[in-house]
Amino acid sequence: MGMSNLQFLIIILLSPLLQGIIRKMKAYAQGRIGPGVLQPYWDLARLFRKDMVISEAASWIFHATPFIVFLSTMAASLMVPVTTPDAPVLAIGDIVALLYTLALGRFFLVLAGLDAGTAFGGEGSSREATVAILVEPMMMLAIFTAAVAGGSTKLSVISKSMHILDSPAHVLAFAAFFVALIADTGRIPVDNPDTHLELTMIHEGMVLEYSGRYLALLEWAHYMKQMLLFTIAIDLFFPYGIAGGALQSALFYAAKVLVLAAAVAATESSRAKLRFFQLPSLLGGAFVLSLLSLITFVMLGR
Amino acid sequence: MPLIKRWIEIFGAIDFISVGMLLSVVAMSSSKRIESCLKAYVINSWLLALLMAAFAVYLSIPHLYIAAFFTIAGKCVLIPYFLRKVIGELKVTREVEPYLSTPVSLIISFALVVLVYSFIAGGIFVAGAARNVLKISVSIILISLFTMMNRKKAVTQVMGLLFMENGLFLAGFSLTYGMPTIIELGVLFDMMMGVMILGVFLTQIKKSFVSVDLDKLTSLKG
């Protein structure tokens, strides 16, 4: 069982690599060479060595948030089956618990954005909260479709019960989940991860006041959350091959993560960022997709 | 052939294709541009033809191949071509101008699907490969009816009518496992004629009222 207890380390240690790979894919799609795939590691290492500048107006929330965000993401990654169907902490490893553990981190991040009292932080926080309200129900519905199909809300049971997109309901639910994933990781139709342009930033706006170690923790937690969501998507919709031997399932996992990363990079390179007030129609459309996925599941009975 | 038959059964191809048709109707009912409505119609028609071919293989009804072929020729090629020409000639603006906003019409489409499911689930029972197709086809008919009511422009109402006919066709051949070819051909031919007449009609409305916005038809003209 050693393997299944240590599999969360994959998410913690390899998530900056995934970010580097997505950046590299994006760079290729845009005709640039781009930084190396290990660049996020160097960035994190550099940030950990730097001093911090902290606003005088900041309260304890500002200091606690990086640790809460990092630890809640780490706790969430303990509940996810990565390369074996059994998650390390199976007893509490329910998908609803997982999502709301992530939501705890997001809640504190929103508070910390408001805490330093800058205009951009508040702007980022209010936008993040709006997007979160729109994304959460559709993500839950998409997950519930897979949960109803799998007969359980435990990721391990769901991932053991199916192969690859078993029914039309799964296809619709995956489409909705993919939009939720893009919105949650702050990628292009919703947020632009590459700029600090005041008028458009969401995630960057909230962490604008952070520097040094705290920023490194927040960035790392963001990478982990991205890889975590990828892993959830794989467990819910493409778990084929997860129950094989250690090497085989690791290879399957790597291939599936790369395919999803390519899909995300392709979406980011081919789409323009939406105006903030157009987001409800994109996310509302995805919400209806997830509703339809549930009703088609009930209607078709599979 | 037996191999393809098994694939259709294993992958549940009939369910996938019919849900795809439902999805393209929902996309049509929420899209803002006439051009994307037309694209949704082409996709819907290709899926219809594919579904007919799947039925033909799965149930070994060879004359459904002919129907599928004529569906492709008529609904995927000729009608879209003709509609594009009409839209180009009318020089209508690209937006569809619905009465309700996109999210509201999406929610209503979803509510219609739920309604259909809750009414048909207990009442009508269809066995065999087409057991789910009837529910989906009735949903398609209702959603396109709703879209026709929701749109101001005549062109988009024609589009709703075309979608409705696709839904009816789906219901027809899934219930009867293929009507006689002559009837299918007749329906297709009627459809073609209908679209052409509507095209001429639209041009006439445009000529005498300057706009194809049907709201303007209610005001008197002196």
Q: Using one digit for the tens of pLDDT, what is the confidence trace for B12-46?
A: 788 889 889 999 999 888 888 888 889 999 999 99
Q: Tell me the nearest-neighbour CA distance from A217 into chain B, angstroms.
A: 38
Predicted confidence at residue B195, as pLDDT, reads 82
CB-CB neighbors (< 8 A) of A172 in chain B: 19, 23
pTM of the model: 0.87
Predicted confidence at residue B130, as pLDDT, reads 72
Q: Taking 70 as the threshold, does the pLDDT of residue B69 lie above it?
A: yes
Local confidence band at B129 (pLDDT 50, 70, 90 cut-offs): low
Q: Which domain holds residue B192?
A: 2-210
Q: Taking 60 as the threshold, does the pLDDT of residue B222 lie above it?
A: no
Higher pLDDT, B151 or B127: B151
Q: Taking 60 as the threshold, does the pLDDT of residue A200 lie above it?
A: yes
Among A104-118, B101-115, B116-130, name the one with the lowest average pLDDT. Answer: B116-130
Predicted confidence at residue A91, as pLDDT, reads 62
Beta bridge pairs of residue B153: B213
B24 vs B115: CA distance, rounded Å: 19
Rounded to 5°, angle at Cα B177 from B174 and B179: 105
Question: Between residues 74 and 103 of chain B, which touch chain A (CB distance below 8 Å)?
Answer: 102-103
**Is B29 inside a domain boundary?**
yes
Q: Which domain holds residue A291?
A: 2-300
Identify the top-confidence range among A255-269, A288-302, B151-165. Answer: A255-269
**Is B149 inside a domain boundary?**
yes
Subunit contact B117:A298, Cβ cutoff 8 A: yes
A291 contacts chain B (CB < 8 A)? yes
What number is the average pLDDT over the span B172-185?
Answer: 76
Predicted confidence at residue A41, as pLDDT, reads 95
Percent of the residues in chain A that have a pLDDT greater than 70, as a whole number:
96
**Is B221 inside a domain boundary?**
no
User: Which of B102, B104, B115, B142 to substitute to test the interface with A, most A CBs within 10 Å?
Assistant: B102
Predicted confidence at residue A2, as pLDDT, reads 58
Local confidence band at A87 (pLDDT 50, 70, 90 cut-offs): low
Convert the pLDDT of each residue in A227-280 to its tens digit: 999 999 998 998 888 877 778 888 999 999 999 999 999 998 888 888 888 888
What number is the average pLDDT over the span A121-125?
Answer: 89
Q: Taking 80 as the threshold, does the pLDDT of residue B75 lie above it?
A: yes
Helix pair B34-59, B2-11: axis angle to 10 deg: 120
What number is the average pLDDT over the span B60-71?
Answer: 85
Local confidence band at A202 (pLDDT 50, 70, 90 cut-offs): confident
**Is B48 inside a domain boundary?**
yes
Q: Taking 70 as the threshold, does the pLDDT of residue B192 lie above it?
A: yes
**Is B183 inside a domain boundary?**
yes
Subunit contact B121:A291, Cβ cutoff 8 A: no
Predicted confidence at residue B85, as pLDDT, reads 85
Predicted confidence at residue A72, as pLDDT, reads 95
Q: Taking 60 as the threshold, does the pLDDT of residue B126 lie above it?
A: yes
Convert the pLDDT of each residue in A14-62 to its tens digit: 999 999 999 999 999 888 998 999 999 999 999 999 999 888 888 999 9
Q: Taking 70 as the threshold, does the pLDDT of residue A88 lie above it?
A: no
Backbone φ and ψ of B151, nearest 5°: -100, 145
| Average per-residue pLDDT for chain B | 83
Predicted confidence at residue A92, as pLDDT, reads 67
> Which residues contact residue B140 at a Cβ distance below 8 angstroms, ignoring those fewer than 6 apart?
B21, B22, B25, B163, B164, B166, B167, B170
**Is B218 inside a domain boundary?**
no
What number is the average pLDDT over the span A131-143?
Answer: 92
Subunit contact A295:B30, Cβ cutoff 8 A: no
B133: closest chain A residue by CA: A300
**Number of folded domains that form chain A:** 1
Q: Taking 80 as the threshold, does the pLDDT of residue B2 lie above it?
A: no
**Is B222 inside a domain boundary?**
no
The single-letter code of the amino acid at A134 is L
Whose structure tokens read 């997505």? A22
Q: Using CB atoms, pick whichever of A291, A300, A302 lies closest to residue B110.
A: A291
**Is B219 inside a domain boundary?**
no
Number of inter-chain CB pairs under 8 A, A vs B = 53
Q: Which helix (H) or strand (E) holds A17?
A: helix A8-29
Structure tokens at A208: 């604008």
Q: Tell me the nearest-neighbour CA distance from A148 into chain B, angstroms.
A: 18
Region of residue A165 (phi > 0: left; psi between -120 and 50: alpha; otherwise: beta): left
Subunit contact B15:A284, Cβ cutoff 8 A: no
Q: What is the ipTM of this complex?
A: 0.77
Q: Considering Cα of B51, then A260, then A249, then A8, what sign does the dihedral take?
A: negative
B185 vs A110: CA distance, rounded Å: 62
**Number of folded domains that form chain B:** 1
| Average per-residue pLDDT for chain A | 88
Predicted confidence at residue A67, as pLDDT, reads 96
Higher pLDDT, A199 or B72: B72
A284 vs A277: CA distance, rounded Å: 12
Q: Taking 60 as the threshold, does the pLDDT of residue A213 lie above it?
A: yes
Predicted confidence at residue A263, as pLDDT, reads 94
Q: How far is C-alpha A35 from the chain's CA centre?
A: 22
